[in-house]
Amino acid sequence: MNVLIIGAGAAGNVVAKKCAMNRDIFKSIHLASRTLSKCEKIKKECKEIFGQEIEISKLDADNVAETVALINKIKPDLVINMALPYQDLAIMDACLETKTNYMDTANYEPIDEAKFEYHWQWAYQDKFKAAGIVAVLGCGFDPGQTNIYCAYAQKNLFDEIHEIDIIDCNAGNHGQAFATNFNPEINLREVTQRGKYWENGKWIETEPLEFRKMIDYPEVGEKASYLLYHEELESLVQNIKGLKRIRFWMTFGDEYIKHMEVLQNVGMTRIDPVKHNGVEIVPIQFLKTLLPEPSSLAENYTGKTSIGCIMTGLKDGKKKTVLIYNVCDHAQTHKEVQAQAVSYTTGVPPVTGAIMLAKGFWGKEPGVWNVEQLDPDPFMAEVAKQGLPWHVRELKSGLGDLTERRKDKKAA
């Protein structure tokens, strides 16, 4: 397979290096980014550490014609989009024009509104079918690996799944007063918007970080976890049969929340332009410039991530609860690919998904697909080999109802 990776940030770095480590599958690897110096650094490390050559290009992925020209030049079998979610549709348009398969790790959101939904990309279904190509959406960890955990459980462990709680803990320490583990602009837009979960056939909105639970994470222990809306909920509601409730929880330390709320209160998380000394700037983009680059956190990162899905349903008429999860060590991922674990868990799944396409396990039918619509079994076997081993644990019960509302938050 010949692959074009667009985006050379922290997770794009992992994708390029893991492809280089699977040279029997990826015959040609081309990395492109608006910032060529990032590509040059990754190219150098691939050669020095893994003894593998990759090609690089400077690319403005917002420019469809420029992306089309690069695709036509290098003729990849697959474009892996590791750029910003704002650029998804432009890259999909380029793939359509060149009839090239597409994969991403995060769904589209407009740059001028903190709102992510799949409908913009699902609208490409007929076009991709007509072109005879495949688009695989949300093949990161969450979304991505978590969706596939649910699909695997639906296929192999349950007759019906009634409740899903996706739980995401980063118990690592990067030593910074305040930093985000992936693109600061995307991270803060996600965390500061209203929460939402699905129950009994309808969506229920909450205030940002209104509800929290103490959740016991494997190899990490109990951590305060906050209810968020996350994009995989939208597709899983459609693709997991018999579902009655689905929620998403993520851990945040008290210091992170304090910094975030102060920044929000003073307007630094605004996404609309403001005038500063006669120059128009977007506050959150300026804040991104001030915060540490996520890839720079890797070297001194300690601790682990612990991410998985708690699922309750029926098997042979009996109620059961299962947790499928992965634990990833920041120090180990830095040793392997010079990346922290959040980037690693995001970058390994799209490489695994690309292997699924290369081997013919996925992509048998053209169109636009979320990963839980594809066969989970070969993916689960391969992703463990690629560095994200997974575990199944039976629990006595699920997480139960919402019980604890933060005292400083009013009811929605």
Tell me which range, 106-110, 210-214, 300-304, is most confidently predicted by mean pLDDT: 210-214
pLDDT tens-place string over residues 129-155: 999 999 999 999 999 999 999 999 999
Which tokens belong to 348?
Answer: 């390994």
pLDDT (average), residues 241-267: 84
pLDDT (average), residues 364-387: 98
Higher pLDDT, 258 or 1: 1
Give the least confident one: 135-144, 294-303, 376-385: 294-303
* Predicted pLDDT of residue 409: 55
The percentage of the chain sitting over the pLDDT mark of 90, rounded to a whole number, equals: 76
* Predicted pLDDT of residue 175: 67
Helix (H) or strand (E) holding 212: strand 211-217
Closest CA to 345 of 227, 115, 118, 169: 169
pLDDT (average), residues 366-394: 98
Rounded to an integer, what distance in angstroms lies between the CA atom of residue 174 and that of residue 181? Answer: 9
pLDDT (average), residues 201-229: 94
Binned at pLDDT 50, 70 and 90, residue 326 comes out as: very high
Give SS3 for 180: coil
* Predicted pLDDT of residue 412: 41
Higher pLDDT, 330 or 181: 330
Inter-CA distances, 31 with 7, 8, 40, 78, 311, Å? 7, 7, 9, 12, 38
Which tokens belong to 209?
Answer: 């970080």
* Predicted pLDDT of residue 152: 98
Give the least confident one: 116-120, 168-172, 188-192, 223-227: 188-192
pLDDT tens-place string over residues 36-48: 999 999 999 999 9
Which tokens belong to 325?
Answer: 């999860």
Beta-bridge partner residues of 203:
198
Burial class (CB in 10 A: 0-12, 13-18, 19+), 358: buried
* Predicted pLDDT of residue 147: 98
pLDDT tens-place string over residues 156-175: 999 999 999 999 999 978 76
Q: Does 28 have pLDDT greater than 90?
A: yes
Rounded to an integer, what distance in angstroms lies between the CA atom of residue 105 and that of residue 34? Answer: 19
* Predicted pLDDT of residue 172: 79
pLDDT (average), residues 20-33: 98
Binned at pLDDT 50, 70 and 90, residue 290 comes out as: confident
Rounded to an integer, what distance in angstroms lies between the CA atom of residue 350 and that of residue 19? Answer: 10
* Predicted pLDDT of residue 91: 98
pLDDT tens-place string over residues 71-107: 999 999 999 999 999 999 999 999 999 999 999 999 9
DSSP string of 380-399, one letter each residue? HHHHHHHT---EEEEES---
* Predicted pLDDT of residue 404: 73
Listed in sequence order, the DSSP H helices in 27-79 are 36-50, 64-74
Cβ atoms 158, 314 nearer than 8 A: yes
* Predicted pLDDT of residue 173: 80
Residue with tokens 């649910």: 150
Binned at pLDDT 50, 70 and 90, residue 271 comes out as: confident
Q: Does 339 have pLDDT greater than 50?
A: yes
Rounded to an integer, what distance in angstroms lies between the CA atom of residue 215 and that of residue 167? Answer: 8
**Distance, CA of 16 to chain centre:** 16
Burial class (CB in 10 A: 0-12, 13-18, 19+), 276: exposed
Rounded to an integer, what distance in angstroms lies between the CA atom of residue 4 and that of residue 363? Answer: 17
Listed in sequence order, the DSSP H helices in 157-231 are 184-192
pLDDT (average), residues 395-406: 85
* Predicted pLDDT of residue 258: 72
Cβ atoms 185, 288 nearer than 8 A: yes
Write the Ramachandran bin of 150: left for phi over 0, alpha for psi from -120 to 50, otherwise beta: alpha
Question: What value does the mean pLDDT of the chain take?
Answer: 92
Domains assigned to the chain: 2-141+340-388 (3.40.50.720), 145-335+392-405 (3.30.360.10)
DSSP string of 227-284, one letter each residue? EE--THHHHHHHHSTT--EEEEEEE--HHHHHHHHHHHHTTTT--S-EEETTEEE-HH
Q: Does 338 have pLDDT greater than 80?
A: yes
Closest CA to 381 of 408, 359, 409, 401: 359
* Predicted pLDDT of residue 283: 83
Which tokens belong to 289?
Answer: 């410039």
Q: Which residues contact 240 (CB under 8 A, 6 or more apart)?
A: 150, 151, 154, 161, 164, 246, 372
* Predicted pLDDT of residue 411: 46
The percentage of the chain sitting over the pLDDT mark of 70, rounded to a whole number, equals: 93
pLDDT (average), residues 261-285: 83
Q: Does 408 have pLDDT greater than 60?
A: no
Q: Does 343 have pLDDT greater than 80?
A: yes
DSSP string of 125-146, one letter each residue? HHHHHHHT-EEEE--BTTTBHH
pLDDT (average), residues 344-352: 98
